[in-house]
Structure 1
């Protein structure tokens, strides 16, 4: 068995491009959203520069990650599933939680475009926006933690070193 999850293998291949495309851009977007979200929450300025950056980043991040989701689902998840190529539960959790990031990020995009919660006031939209940011941070960190594990540690039938 390979001692690296497919998550880490993806980031390690084609340096530095895969790292930039699959990790740096989504993380920079998430950090930008989190920081500007805090600025908006503290200042309650719904029209300032932080809000504009937050809105543009939110729309971009959701559709960017949707592209990543579609690409990886077709080129990684489907082939790994049909050929039995997964490297254990840690591998599945890492890739699965990484791909789950599409839900909150696309939610932010749809919220920013007025396609969901259009009838809510700015405070309610900001609450939902912050919830989406929080969910993305949680699923991304779960993906990173399990992605960095040696998948053999969670495989059934292997001895775990003490």
Structure 2
């Protein structure tokens, strides 16, 4: 069975690619998500948990911007130009992974005070929480499609399998 480029990226150059492209952004995003629950429950927006939440939000947004640029230049553009995609699941996995730039970048912009200025702290945290939720959705969709045989959605017959009509 062939892997999607998403899974191949995580599998090669062990453990570095797994750390760079999965562990660092997910640990930072989960730090934001977990601290977010505390903040929304307590409304304590001035303590150390808010500092951690803000630091992790800015860090993950800036970090993932670098990942996004790197993968666009070194994977998406070359694969598209050469016709190297392995099927629809491959494109969906990489596309949803890279779509993480929208919520993660939004979180960083919010935490840097560049957007949401007209809202109170609780209002900004509501946007923050929505962006965290959006990130969880796109990241999990990327993982699901990333684990598929990339030819599965193309109608091609995978090794040992049968095409459904």
TM class, shorter-length:
over 0.9
Q: Secondary structure at the match of 2:151?
A: helix
Kindly state the Cα deviation for residue 150 of structure 1 after the two structures are TM-superposed: 1.1
Q: Which string of whole-angstrom CA distances, capped at 9 and with x for unpartnered residues, describes residues 1-40 of structure 1?
A: x610000000001000000000000110111011000000
Give the corresponding residue for 2:104. 105
* TM-score of the aligned structures, taking structure 2 as reference length: 0.94
Q: Are the aligned partners of 2:32 and 2:132 in contact in 1 as well (CA < 8 Å)?
A: yes
Alignment of 1:1-162 (within 5 A): 3-158=2-157, 160-161=161-162
Kindly state the Cα deviation for residue 48 of structure 1 after the two structures are TM-superposed: 1.2
Q: Which string of whole-angstrom CA distances, capped at 9 and with x for unpartnered residues, describes residues 52-95 of structure 1?
A: 10000000000100000000000000000000000000000000
Q: Secondary structure at the match of 1:151?
A: coil
* TM-score of the aligned structures, taking structure 1 as reference length: 0.96
1-structure distance, mates of 2:100, 2:52: 20
1-structure distance, mates of 2:34, 2:89: 30
RMSD (CA atoms)? 1.3
Kindly state the Cα deviation for residue 152 of structure 1 after the two structures are TM-superposed: 2.2
Stretches of structure 1 lacking an aligned partner (at least 5 in a row): none
Aligned residues: 161
Stretches of structure 2 lacking an aligned partner (at least 5 in a row): none
